[in-house]
Every structure is written in structure tokens, then in C-alpha cells.
Structure 1
Amino acid sequence: MPADHIRARATAGEDQAVLVLRLAAPLQSWGDRSAFNRRDTSPRPTKSGVIGLLAAAAGRSRESDITDLVGLRLGVRVDQPGTLLRDYHTVSDYRSRPLPQAGVNAKGVQKPTSPAKDTHVTHRYYLQDAVFVAAVQGPADLVTTLAEAIRRPAFPLALGRRSCVPTQPIALGAVRDTSLEDILAEEPWQAGDTVKNAYRRRAERGPEPFSPHRIDLAATFDDPAGEDMLQDVPRSFAPRQRGFLTRRIRHTWLNVPTGLRSSAATTPPATAAGGHDPFALLGW
């Protein structure tokens, strides 16, 4: 069953609320496909990754029913896309034995590789210094419960992989009752200070000046009429029941407030003699 049908059934006739999350970390990895020795990352958070984050915060086991979480509508805004990192791995047996293969013998023990293979190479991909704003919309009672869980998580939280520890805070303010699109359009830009300051300098000194007070950011929303389709909605997190449903998404751009002031507004006032006063910022 497509995830859009589950969402429509789960939220019909219920008061809606929205939880807004800031997903930032030195490293993130949102796997949408993996094949043996290669683990890729999507350029933005996947629905399975966000649902996994919420389930961990709420203390749900891997075998728990996640139908209510699958029914949440997701919107993701790219505040700082980050850069791609390739992590090169080699695996070998510390006893200098050949690596085992996937097949097992009659006793259920993995067979050695033939011909013998002493080293296995893997490539794992991460996003460095990325920042996203994700918002989930659903029944008010459920969203309120998840908001409390994010602030006091039952299990450690991670952004895609266990090693990707998020920076704080994750929750951006209280639960809200306006539309997903309006919230992501008005939530201030969450990029780091270095990126924000570079944007302000470009706005003020570039050949084609533009306002440093707003910025266009890419965003995606769950939308049954969307032009694109992703297969990243989990059926279950149980190891033996893994599988994914599809969802339709809509790509768009949002004009977002930056929260920046112009350089002129932050420049310390000059002294009466026209020089720089080092104590001006202290109000002396």
C-alpha cells in the first residue's frame, strides 16, 4: 500500500500539529540504497531516517508497530547542503585468516572465501557540515508526544547512522498548528555563522546586490500529486521484516528570513575624532 494512503487514513478527522526539527551534525548519512561494499547517502534526510529518529526518541523497539509514524507528513528544507565525504574502509581478520563468505556449511558456519580473500574494501558516504530543517505533521496528540520524546529521548539519537551524533537543539520551539509549508517558509535560516556571514558579504558587495534579509532555499514536501517518487518509507525496522513503501514528493523553493542584519548595523560607531572606539560595543 502506498504511504500516501496510510497517511490519509491515519490523519482523517483529527486535529493536526507540526513538530519542527533542526538536523545538524559534523557528519550525517541518509542511506536510500546500499549494495554490498558501497553505502551511499541521499542529499537530504530520508523519511525512514526521520521516522527512525522519532521512534528511537520515543523508546520504540525495532519490532514495534510504526504505522502511526509512517502516516506523518514530512517536509524538509535544505539550509546548508554540506559537502560529500567518502570514507574508505578495508576489512581483514586480525588472525590473518581468509575472510568468510556469505554462504554457510551444513553446521551453519560461514565458509572461507575461495580463492582466499584477505581484504574486503568498502566505501561509505557522508554529508559534512550539513544543516536541514525537517517538519512532521500529524495528529496533535501524537506530535505532542513526539516533541516531548525528542527533548528527553529514550535511546541515543543519530542522523542516519549510529555514529552521526546530532548537535543540539534538535527541536525548534514548541509544537505548532499552522501548515507545514507556512512553517518552513517562515522558520529563520539555520545555517552556521560562517555560511551566514559569507552570504551577507556577498549580498552587500556583489556586482548584483540583493537583500541579506531573505534567502531562497530548496525544500521537498510529501504530496500525493507530487512530480517525483521515493522509496524510503519503512514498513518495519525489524531486521527480518525490512522493506520500504513509496511516497510522492513535491520539490519547491522557499524564500526564508535569514535573521541577518547588515554590516552597517553591526559596525561600532566611530569616535568624535573619526577613529575607531574599541569600547563602543561595551556602551562606554
Structure 2
Amino acid sequence: MKTATIRLTAPLQSYGNSASFNQRTSDSYPTKSAIVGMIAAALGYSREDNEKILELNNLLFAVRIEQSGKMLTEFQTVEYRKSASKTARKLTYRDFIQDGVFMVAIGSDDDQLIENIKEALEHPKFQLYLGRRSNPPAGPLKIDIFDGENPLQVLEDMPWQASDWYKRSFKSSQFLTRIIADASLDSESTPLMKKDKVGSFDQKDRYYQYRPIVIKKAVKLKNSENNQTADNTDWDFWSFV
């Protein structure tokens, strides 16, 4: 088993769930279908390469919320043609995650596949984006490889990966978060069903399927930016400047 972790951060991210033409909502964390799409783009697959894309569904997947960010809803004016001589305008509302940071982990028994994905994400064939084309990553992706551990095990052991300013905003020595993972990675938890398994990215027939997931709540992470203890009476005035 080889696992790759991908740190996802950007000013805006969006991971669609239920949506209509007028309202485009977002999940609060990256979906598996979004990550499969990003990997497919990095590998140079087109939307019509269904067979190649569906193979990526077999990757083991987990995501940990490092920095939840805040949800932003913006509205856009869309103009469309009702007939040859008439046009109409409609308001649409779209949700985005602001200042979010997430650790995604993908795993496979095919070690070479994980290495190929890492190489592709570092040198992508197509532009990478986090959910929508308007949301590019905040710089090159930070990717690490782990041997002998599955995605859930890696994320349970990994130190907190939030931004330093976000860590400093917490006075506690621990941060509580969640890990969302494939149900096959945790047989002890009760599975839920989530509709984010790729069926097809073809624009003529795009659809998604359900897959079982588990949610591990109250995952404790050490806050490395909180160094105060009961015996520490030192106070640095200039740290507030």
C-alpha cells in the first residue's frame, strides 16, 4: 500500500453537492469526485475518457479538515437566449469556501500508480482547479508519499497542517476536527452513503453515484503554535505588535 497526501488551499474552493440552475451549493470539504477530476486533468484525460477516469474511482480516499474556512455565497447574472430575437437574464447563487485548508489522502496497492499521480499533479497536462475553474490552487500542490499505510492511517497520524495564523487563533493546545473516508478503511464505524462517485464527466451525460463513507469525529490534533503551559509565565509583549 502506498498513499499520497495532497494539501489543498486556495482563496476560494467549491465542491458541488445538490445543485439547481439557480443555486450552486458546496460541500464543506473536498469530494472524491472533485479529486478524481483533478487527478484526471493532471494526467491529461479528457471528459470523454470514461474508462480511464472510472479506474480512478478505485483509489482509496480520505480527507481531513485542517481549516474549515467560511462559506461565501455570491450571485451572478446569467444571460441566455430564449429565442432567436429574445434574451433573458437570471440571477444564480454560488457557494464558495473561503480560506479553507484540507489534507486529501489517496492510496492504492499499485505503487506505480501513486507515483504517476504525484508526477502528474506536479506537472499537470491541464490546469488544476479546486472544484470550479475559477478556483486555482494557491501555488504548487504540496504532495508527500507514505509507504505501508492507508489514507486513513496517514491522516490520523499526520500533524496539523493549517496555516500558522489559524493555529495561533486557537488558545487550546488541541484542535478537534473530522476525517471523512471510504467505508472500507474503517470497519468499526457506521457507514453513510454519499453521492460523489464519478459515473461520467462527459458533458452530454454527466452523473454521479453513491458510495459508502465513514466520518470520524473529534479527531485530536496537537496545536504546535500554542506553547503556553500552566508553569509558563513568560509574556512577550511584542508578539501582539
TM-score category, normalised to shorter length: 0.7 to 0.9
For 2:7, which of 11, 22, 40 is the aligned residue?
A: 22
Per-residue CA shift, 1:67-88, capped at 9, x if unaligned?
2201111101011111111111
Structure 2 CA distance for aligned equivalents of residues 261 and 118 of structure 1: 55
What is the TM-score when the length of structure 1 is the normalising length? 0.73
Correspondence for 2:97: 127
Structure 1 counterpart of 2:107? 137
Contact 2:195/2:209 (8 A) holds in 1: yes
Q: How many residues align?
A: 227
Amino acid of the structure 2 residue aligned with 1:252: K
Tell me which amino acid in the other structure corresponds to 2:132: R
Give, in angstroms, the shift of residue 180 of structure 1. 1.9
Q: Check if 1:237 corresponds to 2:218.
A: no
Partners of 2:45 and 2:94 lie apart in 1 by 27
- Name 2:70's counterpart in structure 1: 83
Residue number in structure 2 paired with 1:217 = 177
| C-alpha separation in 2, matches of 1:26 and 1:165 | 9
1:255 aligns with 2:191: no
Q: Report what 1:166 is aligned to.
A: 137
User: What CA distance in whole angstroms lies between the structure 1 residues aligned with 2:213 and 2:77?
Assistant: 37
Runs of 4+ off more than 4 Å = 110-113
Which residue of structure 2 aligns with residue 49 of structure 1? 34
Query: What is the rounded CA distance, in whole Å, between the counterparts of 2:76 and 2:142 in structure 1?
Result: 34
User: How far apart are 1:150 and its partner, in Å?
Assistant: 1.0
Q: Distance in 2 between matches of 1:58 and 1:119?
A: 37
Structure 1: any 5+ residue segments left out of the alignment? Answer: 1-15, 93-98, 102-109, 204-211, 271-275, 279-284
Aligned partner letter, 1:260: E
Cα RMSD over matched residues? Answer: 2.4
Could you tell me whether the CA contact under 8 Å between 2:81 and 2:88 is conserved in 1?
Answer: no
The Cα shift of 1:48 comes to: 0.9
Q: Would the alpha carbon gap of residues 80 and 259 (structure 1) be closer, same or farther in structure 2, given more than 3 Å must change? A: same
Name the SS of the counterpart of 2:125 in structure 1.
coil
Larger radius of gyration: 1
Q: C-alpha deviations, 1:103-142, integer Å up to 9, x for none?
A: xxxxxxx5566xxx64211111101001111101112121
Q: Which amino acid aligns with 1:182?
A: Q
Contact 1:22-1:172 at 8 Å conserved across structures: yes
Q: Which whole-Å deviations, capped at 9, do the CAs of 1:189-247 have from their partners, x for residues lacking one?
A: 11122211111xx22xxxxxxxx2x4221111110564311111112211123121211
TM-score by length of 2: 0.85
Q: Is the 8 A contact 1:19 1:171 kept in 2?
A: no
What is the Cα deviation at residue 252 of structure 1? Answer: 0.6
Contact 1:187 1:257 in 2 (8 A): no
1:15-64 Cα shifts (integer Å, max 9, x gaps): x2111011111000001122111111111111110101111111111111
